[in-house]
A and B are shown apart, each in its own frame.
Chain A
Amino acid sequence: MSRHIPSATSSPLKRPISVSRSCKLVHHTQVRHATLLKRPKRPYTFTQLVTLSDGSTFIHRTTSPISVCKSAKDIRNSALWHPSSQKLLNVEEDEAGRLRAFRERFGRGWDAEAVAENEDVREGEEKVADRDESLLDLISGFGQEAEAQGQAKGVRKAAQKSGKGKMGEK
């Protein structure tokens, strides 16, 4: 019997500690003998009517509160899902050659050449080299023009540097 009675010295020390612990447990962790049955939390969802680009519609549940969602770009007008569709292929219609003429006159140098050759530019390396030369011409020409007009030399230097950087990248 005497063994079960705790000594007077130990009990006052132990008691307060255990009480504080249990208080902590209530707030933070689960006690083993009582599992909290949590109510499942679900975000509120609205019913939304989706209108695809071809006019077909369907209803789905979303968290978005907008009732009608119109999409401009979706599965119905995407080339990846319709690989054989001529309408979706991004081919330039240039029957009269007006676009080509415009590009020759105002377009960038490398574009005009590619169109003039009417070839696949990716094929050979020589063409790429040609393009780079033409680019270089453009840049150097730009610098000379500035010099001819009697502007500061620093500007020209900067332009040349940027041109070299581009070359390095390619």
Chain B
Amino acid sequence: MALRDLSLQSARSLRKSSFPRSFRFRYNVSRNASTTTHDQDLEPSSSLSIPAPSSDLVKDFDPAERARKRRAELGRELPPSRYRFRSPKYYRGPLHPHQPPPPSDPTSRQFIPGPFSLPRLEQTYHSTIAPDLMTLAYTHFPPGYRAPPKAPRLRSWDETSPYHKNRPLRAPRGHTVLPLLRPPITWQNVPRLERVTVHAMVREALEDKSHLHVARMVLQAITNVRVTTHRAKGSVVGWGLREGRQVSVSAEVNGGDMWDFVGKCVDMVLPRIKDWQGVKGSSGDSSGNIAWGLGPADVALFPEVEVNYNMYPPKMIPGLHVILHTTATNDREARLLLSATGIPFYGKQVN
């Protein structure tokens, strides 16, 4: 405490001494003079000087009465359905006279109101994480700097063989596809969380459909969004999978729900998992999307599931894959972003 006081005092004295006397004097003058000298700069007109409305005008003002009169003139009031715009139920092509409004329009059938809340993690991202990431990724180029020319990303064939003619260009070394480019990070493209996919493949659903229903319920409770069901694309004999059977559910979480979900995971669910080391450092698809898995026991730790755990049949709660899609173009930056949000990583980090 004493130390703090001392430091405060010293800071105060420093501040006093650092201002030159002339400056202080001028500062004081300008403050005191504002009442006298700057009056000419102010606009003379004021709303306070306008007189109040006359008493008879106030007496006549009765909007309810006026509305009643207007209705009496019309005869009868129209029902609300008659004059309110209703969006068409079907989109019947661009040439149809009755076009639906865009989904952002409140009259549209697809309109989603909101956002009504600013999630905690989103606030943290905008206030601290994003500026930090931008600072970390900053590279200074002196004025007049020109980036050295780079070789083309796709190699050309050396014309040693006549068969090289008209071939498409060669793939880059070490890749069959072009990896994403990393543009220099500015305030406009700081890596951010784009969306979260929560996915559960329920193998037991092949025999018993109720497993799928439970998985749907769990996913919806956890993520706050509606869940989509997926069918098997092909048959795998070893797994007993047949084409066209419903085997998995997934939820795409965007916006506020996404921030809530990630915040909930980090703050309450992941710390409760027993002997959890973190997300594996080699996780990621090398283009900035990172995933981890949660076992059935871990999914039961979500507060929404825990609240009415008895509602879910035992041993039917599924395991999940959580895939975080970021706008980062490589795993290193995505990992930096996620570790800033509080997700720990362990092991060797593969980029």
Q: Residues of A at under 8 Å CB distance from B?
A: 33-43, 45, 47, 50, 52, 58-66, 69, 71, 73-75, 77-78, 80-81
A81 touches B117 (CB 8 A): no
List residues of chain A with CB within 8 A of the CB of B267: 50, 52, 71, 74-75
A81 touches B256 (CB 8 A): no
Q: Residues of B at under 8 Å CB distance from A?
A: 87-93, 100, 108-110, 112, 117, 119-120, 220-221, 224-226, 256-257, 260, 263-264, 266-268, 270-272, 276-278, 303-304, 307, 342, 344
Closest Cβ of chain A: how far from B206's Cβ, in Å? 24
In order of increasing CB-CB distance, the 3 nearest A-B pairs are A78-B271, A34-B90, A35-B91
B89 touches A64 (CB 8 A): no
A73 touches B90 (CB 8 A): no
Given contacts A33-B93, A35-B91, A63-B220, contact A74 B271 (CB under 8 A): yes
* Extra pairs beyond A75-B271, A80-B271 (11, CB < 8 Å): A33-B93, A34-B91, A42-B224, A43-B220, A50-B267, A60-B117, A61-B256, A63-B224, A64-B221, A66-B307, A69-B303
List residues of chain B with CB within 8 A of the CB of A43: 220-221, 224-226
Closest Cβ of chain B: how far from A41's Cβ, in Å? 5
Closest Cβ of chain B: how far from A88's Cβ, in Å? 11
Provide the bound-state CA to CA distance between A64 and B222, in Å. 9
List residues of chain A with CB within 8 A of the CB of B226: 40-43
Provide the bound-state CA to CA distance between A116 and B260, in Å. 50
A34 touches B344 (CB 8 A): no
List residues of chain B with CB within 8 A of the CB of A71: 267-268, 303
Closest Cβ of chain A: how far from B220's Cβ, in Å? 5
Closest Cβ of chain A: how far from B300's Cβ, in Å? 14
Provide the bound-state CA to CA distance between A33 and B110, in Å. 19
List residues of chain A with CB within 8 A of the CB of B93: 33
Closest Cβ of chain B: how far from A82's Cβ, in Å? 10
Cβ-defined partner of A60 (8 Å) among B108, B119, B307, B342: B119
Provide the bound-state CA to CA distance between A81 and B276, in Å. 11
A75 touches B92 (CB 8 A): no
Provide the bound-state CA to CA distance between A81 and B345, in Å. 11
Provide the bound-state CA to CA distance between A156 and B58, in Å. 106
Provide the bound-state CA to CA distance between A7 and B103, in Å. 49
A62 touches B92 (CB 8 A): no
List residues of chain B with CB within 8 A of the CB of A62: 224, 260, 264, 303-304
Cβ-defined partner of A58 (8 Å) among B88, B120, B257, B266: B120
Given contacts A61-B224, A62-B224, contact A40 B110 (CB under 8 A): yes
A37 touches B220 (CB 8 A): no
A74 touches B272 (CB 8 A): yes
List residues of chain B with CB within 8 A of the CB of A47: 117
Which residue of the partner chain A has the closest CB to B90? A34
A61 touches B117 (CB 8 A): yes
Which residue of the partner chain A has the closest CB to B117? A61
